[in-house]
Amino acid sequence: QLEVVESGGGLVEAGGSLRLSCVVRGRHFQMYHMGWFRQDPGKELEAVSCISLSGDKTYYRDSLKGRFTISRDNTKNTVYLQMDNLKPEDTAMYYCATVRTQETLGVIDRCEAATYRGQGTQVTVSS
């Protein structure tokens, strides 16, 4: 059983930055691929970024490449999402979760939320 707790959301102006953190409480964190997802009211949950067990492979939603960076620290059971040059369309509730990944030729090309997910942290970007 894992507990996933996100933090770091808030209100920021367009062009600004935020760093989200996700602390995972429980055993064997290093055995889980992890990811960030977001959801606006009335819209589907969408994958933002995912990272492999050791952090050597990452996945980003195409529209976010170059602005968001995912990382993890297995000594701290923590996953991070650095978000730069934020845009109003990035406004959403952001969730951290364990994930299932799909690879093609050694590259993660798909990830989906798996068993454990946090309560989310709200990110609001003003124009």
Residues contacting residue 101 through CB under 8 Å, at least 6 positions apart: 33, 50, 52, 57, 59, 108, 110, 111
Digit-coded pLDDT (tens) for 29-38: 999 999 999 9
Distance CA 76, CA 113 (A): 21
Q: What is the pLDDT of residues 57-86, one digit of tens each?
A: 999 999 998 999 999 999 999 999 999 999
Which structure tokens are listed for 4? 């996933």
Distance CA 40, CA 89 (A): 10
For residue 41, what pLDDT is reported? 86
What is residue 19's predicted lDDT score, i.e. its pLDDT? 98
